Chain A
Amino acid sequence: MTLLAPKAPPVVAEALTTRTIRTGTPDPGPRVRSVRMKVLFNVLAAIVFVCAVFPVYWMINLSFTPGDQIIRRDQSLIPREPTFVNYITAWNRPAAPGQNDFAGALQTSLIVVAIVVVCALFVAFLASIALARFRFVGRRTFIVAVLIVQMIPGEAMIFTVYNLIDDLSLMNTVWGLSLVHIAAVIPFTIWTLRGFVAGVPAELEEAAQIDGCSKQGAFWRVTFPLLAPGLVSTGIFAFMLSWNEFAMALLLMKDQNLTLPTWLNSFQSATEATNYGAVLAGSTLICIPVVVFFLIVQGRMTGGLVSGAVKG
């Protein structure tokens, strides 16, 4: 950096030099300038941090602020008269008359998410073994089909899918919504898990077989434990898609069967201008599991795009 400072072209460096000229002080030299750059970068980083965090902070701040304090003309950075009353209201009050409360929506969401994660992982896991471990006629066709299916925007088919769920008599049931979510995640899960299975060398399994393991035993004892991280990552992906999915839940789920996003939507429309705090308390509660999972998998989220892409 010191070596390069005289040639460093970014606008920032130029601005600093102009300032030194304007103030009349002699050029402070590369070292001082590099220190100034460091300060500038840290200030920019702080701005990025504040911009990223502010909405989250504001949501939490207002969720602890009593309703009558939120609708004051002046704003406060920390909750005035902090209270849990918003959380209690959000938890217990029906989104709208005849609809479920947060606890009910949480239950529906958890059931849907559990079905989606278990089924999607199981189905995709079987497919990924076939694709990564066997060579057979039609393999490429299947891969192309999966890729094309992934390209088809589910958003375009909402009403035909609605009709299908209706024909299957699964309207307004957790099974109907789960089916839609499973179908939405399955191409991605197959694609990702296939990469993980292919990443475990077949030689490991063969070595275990030579040592006297059966083919299946070798798979379950050698390969499967190595796949755990892949299963966790894809499982969390499926979890988040299902947890956050809004459009189809809005179309399929009614009254007592709202999922969390549709509950929040309904709760917001119903309590418009009357209970900001409770809506934001509900929002905060919805975020918690997702944030926890993000913290668990943070390192792996970008892996798929990057691994090998730069050097290859």
Chain B
Amino acid sequence: MTTTTTAPRLSWEERERRRTRRDAVTSWTLLAPSIILILLMVGYPAIQMIWQSFTDYQVRHKIQGTTPEFVGFDNYVKIITRSDFPEVVVRTVGIMLVTTTLIMLLGVLVALLMTKIGRGMRITVSVGLLLAWAIPPLTASVVWGFIFDTQYGVVNWALNSITGTQEWHNHSWLLNPWTFFLVLTIIVVWGAIPFVAFTTYAALGQVPAERIEAAEIDGAGGWARWWNITFPAVRPVLAGLLILQIIWNMKLFTQVYALQSRGGIASETNVLPVYLFRQGIGEFGATSAIGMLIVLIMLALSWFNLRQMLKEEDE
């Protein structure tokens, strides 16, 4: 009796063990292309960047095939103390804070508005938002650049018409860094609101209607209903959106670059990625150190997001 029961159990364990091994082999075979790709295109450049940031690697080393010298933290010290890097960091964070706040606030308001209007109007607004969302960042920057054009821009024309003067003709919006950032903020916020509005609107649709009705019957006003029922329900979605916006708005490149080439002063309007780009090819040691600092800043900002995603993964 005992032998007949143990024998199949052993073979079952053996089968299970073999199956596990076969699964592992299959899995890693399926993962191999991704791993190779990530190691080649992300892992290798990342290691190169770490190593080069501690050397005086320049384009001449690359051409002559000579080995660069190890310089320790020299690149980092130089960037943080002597160059305009700290100013660029402050500017980047400032623009990120302003754009993110505006995007979240206006995006949620548009989503709430969409719940209050009729079906026909809602579809109209959705189509409009979808169009704004679909426009590529570079195209959007080009078009907004024309709208704010010095000579033939519709904004200057409108301001002339309103004030009844010609004072705004030849007014440059991009030359002054502050109005440059105003135009930049408009472009970024205009392009980002649709995503926030649509996502929030979808989340609002999942809030159980009975709960809102119950609160309504209990006499809760609109404000009370929002803070006690709707907001807590959509908070996870809003938190996710907020983190995405923070990350995206720290990495603005296209819009800033395009506006600069239309008449902005680069040295006074650079944000981190554009600042790095404008260093150009040559001083690979220094650009690697700047890259490292950007990675550290971004990882610090997205650390919370990463932990959140891992927690969800474990559940």
Please report A residues at the B interface, Cβ cutoff 8 Å: 3-4, 7-10, 38, 41-42, 44-46, 48-53, 55-56, 58-59, 62, 70-75, 122-124, 126-127, 129-131, 134-140, 142-149, 151-153, 155-164, 166, 179-180, 182-183, 186-187, 190, 243-244, 246-247, 250-251, 261, 264-265, 268-269, 273, 276, 279-280, 283, 286-287, 290-291, 293-295, 298, 301-303, 305-306, 309-312
Contact = CB atoms under 8 A, between A and B. Distances in A.
Given A159-B281, A268-B261, A52 B298 contact: no
Interface in B98-140: 110, 113-114, 116-118, 121-122, 124-126, 128-140
21 contacts: A9-B221, A41-B116, A45-B125, A49-B128, A58-B143, A71-B151, A126-B33, A127-B30, A127-B31, A131-B31, A136-B23, A146-B38, A152-B42, A159-B281, A160-B45, A160-B291, A164-B41, A247-B254, A264-B139, A265-B258, A295-B130
Nearest to A167: B62
Q: Secondary structure at chain B's binding surface: helix, strand, loop or mixed?
A: helix
Nearest to A301: B198
A156 B292 contact: yes
B261 A142 contact: no
Contacts of B202: 302-303, 306
Nearest to A179: B41
Contact of B144 (A41, A55, A243): A55
B266 interface: no
A3 B313 contact: no
Interface string B136-152: 11111011101100011
Contacts of A126: 30-31, 33-34
Given A9-B221, A247-B253, A310-B236, A283 B139 contact: yes
B299 interface: yes
B264 interface: no
Contact of A246 (B42, B114, B169, B257): B257
A48 B240 contact: no
B34 A161 contact: no
A250 B195 CA distance: 27
Contacts of B146: 58-59, 62, 276, 279-280
A15 B140 CA distance: 36
A3 B310 CA distance: 45
B6 to A, nearest CB: 27
B117 A58 contact: no
B48 A183 contact: no
B222 interface: yes
Interface string B155-167: 0011000000000
B219 interface: yes
Contacts of A164: 40-41, 44-45, 48
A34 B49 CA distance: 61
A306 B258 contact: no
A74 B157 contact: yes
B249 interface: no
A48 B113 contact: yes
Interface in B202-248: 202-203, 206-207, 216-217, 219, 221-223, 233-234, 236-237, 240-241
A162 B281 contact: yes
B53 to A, nearest CB: 10
A251 B305 CA distance: 30
Contact of B30 (A130, A280, A305): A130
Contacts of A58: 143, 146-147, 154
Contacts of B118: 42
Contacts of B237: 305-306, 309-310
Given A129-B30, A144-B310, A186 B134 contact: no
A182 B34 CA distance: 10
B203 A310 contact: yes
B28 interface: yes
Contacts of A180: 41
Contact of A160 (B207, B258, B288): B288
A129 B292 CA distance: 34
Nearest to B254: A246
Given A10-B223, A152-B42, A268-B261, A59 B143 contact: yes
